[in-house]
Amino acid sequence: MSSAEDRVNAMRGYKATLNNPRVSDEAKQNAQSMLDQLGGSQPSEELHNLRGDNQKDPNRVAGGLKAAQNNPGVSQQGKEAAGQKLNQMGGPDE
């Protein structure tokens, strides 16, 4: 059985095939079939767990929350929720 990393790399190739306009419909159907056999997003999740990517960098999280507070596309309720989460993290509320 191949490793999670091998399966993720294979999935990348099949996904590229699906998005390539020069590829025939038959090849796209084959690529989709192979993706289904590889387990959907499961190999990617396994790879994240193996690498320890499931830990979020607190500085990046805080930066995202600060950006949400200043983004005109975010609702007032969303801005308030971001401020509350930022306060819970111990960061300043802007």
At 47, is the pLDDT very low, low, confident or very high (cuts 50, 70, 90)? low
Q: Residue 70 corresponds to which tokens in the numbers above?
A: 């200043």
DSSP string covering 38-76: HTTTHHHHHHHHHHTTTSPPHHHHHHHHHHHHH-TTS-H
Residue type, 57: D
* Domain spans of the chain, in order of start: 4-51, 58-90
Q: What is the reported pTM?
A: 0.46
Q: 24: which residues sit within 8 A by CB, 6+ positions away?
A: none
Q: Cα(4)–Cα(15) distance, rounded to whole angstroms?
A: 16
Say whether pLDDT at 94 is over 60: no
Distance of CA 33 to the CA centre of its chain: 22
- What are the tens digits of pLDDT across the range 61-90? 899 999 999 999 999 999 999 999 999 988
Q: Give yes or no for a contact between 61 and 87, defined as CB atoms under 8 angstroms apart.
A: no
At 12, is the pLDDT very low, low, confident or very high (cuts 50, 70, 90)? confident
